[in-house]
């Protein structure tokens, strides 16, 4: 069958072996490697792939793209971001450098609450422009799917504004956005003496979010001085009743038991996990919940890294994501997150590829379409200015991505976004 697109002269094609389940244990070290490879694409999905030049799939209208002997991987999946927000928080940077704890900054009205004020004041157009710029940067670094959370509104009007802007961006932009409602990201100051009323308000928000199709998941920040385990149980249980998938920020600063709650309720992922306990690791091992670690946050805050080697040794399904946000991970460079995973988490190139594609796709329930290069999967893939993936991890803080294809469409060429020119 003739293809719409043939990518040939691929020096090395590197992909996880299967998308059927999250990789665990030994599977995390396994990849399919094809030398001198081609990819054939038809109607936005992979028609065929293998060694050679794919000549049998070339027709009169087939576009042929030369990979120049370089590396191809699946499109990267950044499965935890706060991409739609307004403003920045560089004025907190000096406090962080002086060692002021994050929870102290939050108590003083900074942190999440600062971004809440800025996002409440921003117009939808301002939110759209800033977030589109971030998505373009992510795309240029090889990210073709992100999970995007609300949570900088903490009221009905702003939460809906964030989610509606995100829905418009998902329709307009090549990067697919998996939407998450994070109404319980922090406790607004005017609810300090009536926590339950705020939680009930979050549940009320879920109805409108569901009616408008604005989110697939509901998340909550389970942390000391934010929301405890029983408050998290209430929000997530109500979300589950309404048909949402579940996520949780857990064990970031203090281990309260949020990981165990995630596993009990069947959450898609438990995220952060810097101070996860042995009990939490055991719960993840015996569950379908993906452990989503965010090493850029630890790097930026100078805090502990999640005990990834121990989790991998115990057979936990593990993903890596950026946690792009204005306060604790203000960088859209997902490749740098992967550099940190190699250097500080001691993950191998094979483990990092599985964690940032296959397992990340499972953590957002999109593994039936993305995360692996194989026949009938989405033609989301990246061509690097590198001949192998270890080089991408070794040569750190550099954007090695040259070309990006989304659903078989060239959206980044020679490191520049070209998608607006081809709509």
With H, G, I as helix, E, B as strand and everything else as coil, classify residue 187.
Answer: coil
Give per-residue pLDDT as tens, 384-408: 999 999 999 999 999 999 999 999 9
Residues of the chain with CATH 2.30.40.10: 5-75+371-421
Quote the tokens at residue 422: 């081809």
Query: How far is C-alpha 401 from the chain's CA centre?
Result: 18
CATH among 3.40.50.150, 3.30.1300.10, 3.20.20.140, 3.90.190.20 for 76-363: 3.20.20.140
Rounded to 10 deg, the angle between the 156-172 and 124-140 helix axes is: 50
Q: Are 95 and 36 in contact (CB under 8 A)?
A: no
DSSP code string of 19-70: SSS---GGGGG--EEEEEEEEEEETTEEEEEEES--GGG--TT-EEEE-TT-
Q: Can you give the pLDDT at residue 91? A: 83
The superfamily in CATH containing domain 5-75+371-421 is: Urease, subunit C, domain 1 (2.30.40.10)
pTM, whole model, 2 decimals?
Answer: 0.96
Q: What is the pLDDT of residue 175?
A: 98
pLDDT for residue 92: 84
Query: What is the secondary structure of 322-354 as a DSSP string?
Result: --BBTTTB----HHHHHHHHHHTS---HHHHHH
Q: What are 193-209's pLDDT values in tens digits?
A: 899 999 999 999 999 99
Report the candidate in 334, 337, 411, 324 with the shortest Cα–Cα distance to residue 84. Answer: 324
Phi, psi of 165 (to 5 degrees): -60, -45
Task: Find where tokens 């959450």 sit.
Answer: 267
- Residue 17 in contact with residue 380, Cβ under 8 Å? no
Ranges in the chain, pLDDT < 50:
422-423
CATH 3.20.20.140 in the chain is located at 76-363
Per the CB < 8 A criterion, the answer to whether 115 and 121 are in contact is no
Element (H, E) at 180: strand 176-184
pLDDT for residue 112: 80
Contact predicate 242/272, CB 8 Å:
no
Q: Note the pLDDT of residue 423.
A: 38
């Amino acid at each position: 069958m003739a293809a719409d697109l043939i990518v040939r002269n691929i020096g090395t094609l590197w992909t996880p072996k299967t998308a059927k389940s999250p990789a665990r244990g030994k599977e995390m070290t396994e990849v399919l490697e094809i030398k001198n490879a081609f990819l054939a694409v038809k109607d936005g999905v992979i028609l065929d792939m293998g060694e050679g030049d794919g000549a049998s799939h070339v027709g009169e209208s087939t576009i042929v793209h030369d990979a120049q002997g370089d590396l191809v991987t699946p499109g990267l999946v950044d499965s935890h971001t706060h991409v739609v927000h307004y403003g920045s928080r560089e004025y907190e940077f000096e406090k962080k450098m002086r060692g002021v704890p994050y929870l102290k900054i939050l108590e003083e009205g900074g942190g999440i609450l600062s971004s809440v004020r800025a996002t409440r004041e921003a117009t939808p157009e301002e939110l759209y422009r800033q977030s589109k710029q971030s998505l373009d940067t992510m795309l240029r670094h090889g990210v073709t799917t992100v999970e995007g959370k609300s949570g900088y509104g903490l009221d009905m009007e702003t939460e809906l504004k964030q989610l509606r802007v995100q829905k418009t961006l998902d329709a307009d932009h090549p990067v697919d956005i998996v939407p998450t409602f994070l109404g319980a990201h922090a406790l607004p100051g005017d609810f300090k003496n009536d926590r339950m009323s705020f939680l009930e308000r979050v549940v009320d928000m879920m109805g409108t979010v569901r009616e408008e199709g604005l989110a697939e998941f509901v998340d909550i920040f389970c942390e000391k001085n934010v929301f405890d385990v029983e408050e998290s149980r209430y929000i997530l249980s109500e979300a589950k009743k309404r048909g949402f998938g579940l996520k949780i920020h857990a064990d970031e600063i203090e281990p309260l038991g949020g990981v165990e709650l995630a596993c009990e309720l069947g959450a898609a992922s438990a995220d952060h996990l810097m101070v996860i306990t042995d009990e939490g690791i055991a719960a993840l091992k015996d569950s379908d919940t993906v452990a989503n670690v965010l090493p850029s946050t630890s790097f930026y805050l100078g805090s502990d890294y999640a005990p990834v080697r121990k989790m991998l040794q115990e057979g936990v399904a593990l993903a890596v994501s950026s946690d792009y946000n204005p306060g604790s991970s203000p960088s859209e460079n997902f490749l740098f997150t992967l550099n940190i995973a190699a250097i500080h988490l001691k993950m191998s190139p094979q483990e990092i590829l599985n964690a940032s594609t296959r397992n990340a796709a499972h953590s957002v329930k999109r593994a039936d379409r993305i995360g692996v290069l194989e026949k009938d999967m989405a033609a989301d893939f990246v061509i690097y200015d590198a001949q192998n993936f270890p080089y991408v991890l070794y040569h750190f803080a550099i954007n090695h991505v040259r070309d990006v294809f989304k659903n078989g469409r060239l959206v980044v060429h020679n490191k520049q976004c070209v998608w607006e020119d081809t709509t």
